[in-house]
Each structure stands twice: as structure tokens, then as C-alpha cells.
Structure 1
Amino acid sequence: MEILSPDGEIGSPLQAIGLLLVTLAGGLILLRGLAAQARDTGLGGLVTSLWRYDSAVALALVALALLNLVNQFTPLTGVFRPEVGDGGLIENLTITVMIFPAVIFLAHLLSGKPRRGHFGPSMMTALSLALLAGFGEEISWGQHWFGLAVPDAIAQANLQSEINLHNYIPPGMMEAIYFATGLVLLLIAANLRQILKSTEQVRGLLALRALLVLSAVLLCHHVFQELGELAVIIAGFLIWKRLDDGRLSLKPRWLKTLTAY
């Protein structure tokens, strides 16, 4: 079946097994989080902690994942990106959310007003440059937007004949990178209370933990990786915004100091 072996060599049934194992591990992490939340705040606190924007985002991503399965058999033009090229609702959402922090930081710089958020100017400059680079890679540096001609040397060497760097990475290596990223996200989700602290009365980390687990699961199979990228970007944006607004704080002192530069 193609769904178990997308793109030939990068799929293999091992990818499906990896997806299953990560899903099971993610489920255990969420069950542990549910039990801890119910123990600490009671049923009312548990419901309140789940009644958050993060939960709505996670549910929307689950619905899109189901649509993604449909897309494997009946292509949904305009929703998911084509095999070659850019475009589609999901990719456009990803690049839009990705660029938000850089745009907000640039607006502060142009306004000349002092910035009072958690992240310092050096960290925000580095983050903005990284996001701009990711934005450029995601849109192939405007190749499809502006109809840029691709030099023959790039067309022959690049896997999709696009002006970007990530398509020079062999497919098997790219799948390994995605899977490793998923495992890192699972570790972060499992240890979220040791990394972040909510400044709100009822701890708001359970829904965020669910979003991180879902991001990890989606990244671990080729079929869902476009959605996985969107989930990671949204989770990262929510954490960044809440840290900057003071609704979340970092627990490790070294990390708090580093991000404040």
C-alpha cells in the first residue's frame, strides 16, 4: 500500500511501525498528564485546563489529518500542497504563522519603542533570521511565486528542481530528521512541567502538551508531515507569545538567561 510506503525507499513499513510506537508513547504521556492534572486541581480544574485555544487547534489538526488520508486517494486541490511545487492552504498557514514573530519584532524596531517582552534583542534577532530562512526555504525563495527560471545545475541536482537547500537532503535522511524531531517533541511534552510554568491560576499546560504530542505524531509519517510542520510552528508560536506576554515562564535558569539576551 502506498500509504505504508510513500515515495518508495523512504516509506517502508518501518515508518508505519514508528508512527504506531510514537502514537502509543504520546498517549501514555497524555494519560499521565491527565492523571496529574486531575490529582492537583480536581475534575473542574481538569476541564478548565482543557478548555483552551490549544485544544481547539489540536482538534482542528486531527480533522485535517483525516482529510489528509482522504487526500491520498482523492486529491483535495488547494488544501494540501502538490507533490512538486508550493501552495495549498496548509503550507500557506504554516508560512504565515512562521513569519509572525519576525514581523512583530520588526514592527517594534521600526516604531522605536522599547520592547518589554521576555525575549531580548539578540535572541529575537537570531529567531527572526532563522524564521526568515525557514520561510524562504518553504516557498523555495519565491521560485513558484515569481516564476523564476531554475539553472540547469540546480534542476539536475535538486530532488524537486527547486531553489532551496532542503531538497538536496536524501529522502531517507530527511525522514530520519523528521522522526528524530518527533522524538524530541515527545521528550519536551513529557517534561513540560520541568521546562515551563504557567502564571495563570489554573495550570494551562495540559492542552499545550497535547498539541506537542500531536505535532510529534504527525511528523513521524511522510503522509502527515506537512500537517506536522504546521502543528510544530503553531505550538512554537504559542509558547513564544505566552513567554513574551508573561503568561508562561521558563523554569531552567540558564534557559531563562539565554533567551533574555
Structure 2
Amino acid sequence: MPPIPIPAFADNYIWLLPAGDGRGTVVVDPGDAVPVLAAADAGDWQPDAVLLTHHHDDHIGGVAALRRRWPGLEVIAPHEARIPTTSRRVIDGERIEAAGHGFEVLAVPGHTVSHIAFHGHGLLFCGDTLFSLGCGRLFEGTPAQMLASLDRLAALPADTLVCSGHEYTQSNAAFARAVDPGNPALERRSEEVTALRASDQPTLPTTLADERACNPFLRADAPAVRASVAAWTGDDGLSRVDTFAALRRWKDGFRA
């Protein structure tokens, strides 16, 4: 079964990977227990494992309540002291089994220094590293770290389904079109996103192929993106990392 985004707070998604083929149910980044408990009660299931990508409370805040309901719940997280409730800490390159689902752990620092992603079964649970048409803010990491993390994710198979932690796609589309206005793939994706949000539908998951074609943060080498950043900074001699860093600063202050 495909992954299901469960809305939480203003714009978070808690991801549910339902049981299938005899495997168990996985919950990713449950910042709030309430919608998970409601979904479990409505569907008559219970989670077997929780995957955590990073320490921010809107991604881990519901774990304690879920473990009170299901004391044996497995919680898999990065080595991060700011995540207090876990049963297993994992590092880059580990292969894990979570409720019968296999994943590879990918270190993707940038948004936070200990951020990880989980890749397997054609799915990428990437927290706040990669968004559709955007990427996470650099709260702790450096531009070089985030660019390397995005390069790593962009190298995964094109049909990978990107399961991000927030519904930011519509606002990201406005910025992406300011940066890359002549991109027909981006124009099509933006129109699709507008229609989905108008009917209150999620814009995720998206495919990595679409992100490669449309997301300016995965296109820092594209001539159109480099030209836009050069015009914004007044400097056409920026390195690749500096171009990415400027693009992120531009997005931080962008207002549609």
C-alpha cells in the first residue's frame, strides 16, 4: 500500500506506511499523537514501529503518548541527545527492519546536524531536508552540508516517492517560479499543486524525477537558476556552494 500523509498542526505531515504482505505498520515523525491515535482507532490497527528523522518537536512530540498507548512500540532515531524516547539509535549506512519494512539510513545534515532520512521500497522519508520544490532552512548545518545532502537524495532512483515533513509546496512553487520562470515542467507542477490545494488534497508524495526537473534547490547547476541567483546577488562568479547558499538566503526572505 502507498504511504499516507496524516495532517498535523498547521502544515506538518505524519507519514503512515500501512501493513501489507504480512508486514507491520510504520509511523514516521509523529509530532502529535492525536491524529495517529484517531487514525489507528478508525482503522483498527496499531503501529509497530516509529521512524524519527530529526529532533524538532513537531516531528517527535507525539512519541511519548504513543508509547503510553503501546508500550512495546519500537522507536528508531538518529544519535541525538535531544530525542529522549527511543529504542534504537542508527547511523548513516545502516540497514534497518522496521515492522518488517527494510530501509537504508542516510545521513542528511543541513536542517539539523543529526538529520537522517530513510530510503526503501521506493520511498524516501526525508523529514525537513527535501520538500517538494524546496528544501529545509539551515538551522544548524552549513550550505555545503545541505547541498551535499540534497545531492545524495537527488541521486536516488527517479521513481522514488518523496515523503516530506511539511505541506509547503504551494509557497515553494511561488519562489521556484521567481527563480526559474522559463521552466515548463515547473509551470505544470505549479498548476497541479494549485488544483490539489484548491480541493484540499496533499501535494505529496511527489517523485524524485519531478523534483529534479522542477526544484531549484536540486538545480543549482542549471544555467537558468545560476543566472537568476547571479542577478539577485549581483555576482556572476559564485561557486556552486555559494550559489546554493545565496538561493537559500533568497528563499528565507522571499515574499510572494
> Which structure shows the bigger proportion of residues in helix conformation?
1
Which TM-score applies when normalising by structure 1?
A: 0.28
The higher-RCO structure (CA 8 Å, 6+ apart) is 1
Which TM-score applies when normalising by structure 2?
A: 0.28
Who wins on radius of gyration, i.e. which is larger?
1
